[in-house]
Amino acid sequence: MRIFQHTSIRHKQIFIILLITSVALLLACAMFVTFETIDFRKEMVWNLFTLAGIIGNNTAAALDFNDAQSANETLLAFEAQPNIIGACVYSRSGNIFDKYDRPGQGITFAPPPKPQAYGSSFARDRLALFEPITSKGDVIGVIYLESNMQGLRSKLTQFAFITVAVFLLTLLVALLLSARLQRFISEPILDLVRTVRAVAQEKNYSIRAVKRSTDEIGVLIDRFNEMLAQIQQRDAALEAARDHLEARVEERTQELETIHKQLVEASRQGGMAEIATNVLHNVGNVLNSVNVSTGLIVERVKQSKTSGLAKVVDLLGQHAHNLGGFMTHDSRGKHLPAHWRNSPNISWPSSGLSSANWIPCGATSNISRKLSPCSRTTRWSAGSRK
């Protein structure tokens, strides 16, 4: 039922207790009323049999003497019985001998034209009875009685008032008792609910529910507290792991920044190394050219006759006081102009000067500055012969 989905457990308990009490009380009252009704109907039948026996004995003589007036006077005794609707006496032949109809009830008494089987039967609003009339052991007639159900209705009405009064009083007592006794079950559960709400709202897992008993609710509270303790431990572990993770993330971030700077520096140095490589490559090319040129120069120098220039300079230095005589009269001096002329690195003057008047200007570096002929002669340089 939807009404129970939004109702407090306290009200549910009270409602269930009242419902069970009401059902049990209704069943008890129904059984009591049923038993009383059956017993009252038996009592009605017994009373009717008793009246039928008394009236039958009183009308036996009237039947024997065929005295209808005496039988009518006997039947008038039913006026003292308000529940009797009517009575009828049948003769031995089965015909109606005499009858009694209570006036003023608004109920029409219509006895059967012939007697039926002995015994009683209940109709919707009346009780009918056929009882034989005997005299000296012989059946001399039949008496028929009809009784209304007014007595049973009055009894049932009385039972109904009593039942309603007992029902309401019992419900009131059950309500008072359940309102006080349900606390033994509802209060621990409500405390647990309040604890759950506090934990959910405050996110505080250190709160604990109060245990009041050792029954199933107490076991439930213990398990709930254990669950809160486990959650608190896990929350603390997660908090520590988060702090450690943040520290690791910060450390890794610093490492990544350092690596990034190193990569940038390495990239910059790599670019400079590439530039240096290109420069070194170009310098190497130049040095190779210089090396080749130097090799060629050395090879030319080795192939030239300038290696004997130092000897010539020494000879000139030795004969500096008489250089002209040395070059004209000495055999070694005479060969010097021919030696210089054949040297590919020494240029001679274009005019027709004799070899005795010329000395190479490059040789004066190792000759004394007092040699005036070299200063008076025209300079010529090595490597350009004009």
Q: Does residue 117 lie within any of the structural domains?
A: yes
**Radius of gyration over every alpha carbon of the chain, rounded to an integer in angstroms:** 78
Residues 167 and 21 in one domain: yes
Residue 27 lies in a domain: yes
Of 132, 163, 178, the one marking the end of a domain is: 178
pLDDT at 371: 38
pLDDT at res. 361: 42
Q: Report if residue 348 sits inside a domain.
A: yes
14 with 159, same domain: the answer is yes
Is 44 inside any structural domain? yes
Boundary (domain end) residue, out of 178, 211, 227 = 178
The whole-number pLDDT of residue 90 equals: 92
Establish if 265 belongs to a structural domain.
no
Residue 338's domain spans which residues? Answer: 307-376
Q: What is the pLDDT of residue 143?
A: 92
CATH of the domain at 147: 3.30.450.20
What token pair was written down for 356?
A: 């005795």
Residues in the chain where the model's pLDDT stays below 50: 347-386
For residue 283, being part of any structural domain is answered with no
Tens digit of each residue's pLDDT (9 = 90 or more) over 132-172: 998 888 888 999 998 888 888 888 888 889 888 988 998 89
Question: Looking at the structure, do residues 14 and 160 belong to the same domain, yes or no?
Answer: yes
Q: Are 207 and 198 in contact (CB under 8 A)?
A: yes
In tens, the pLDDT along 62-80 reads 888 888 888 888 888 888 8
CA dihedral (122, 125, 126, 127) in degrees, to 10, reads 20
**Residue 368 has what pLDDT?**
39
Q: How many domains does the chain have?
A: 2
Is the residue at 196 inside a domain?
A: no
Domain end position, chosen among 145, 160, 178: 178
pLDDT value of position 235: 84
Q: Does any domain span residue 272?
A: no
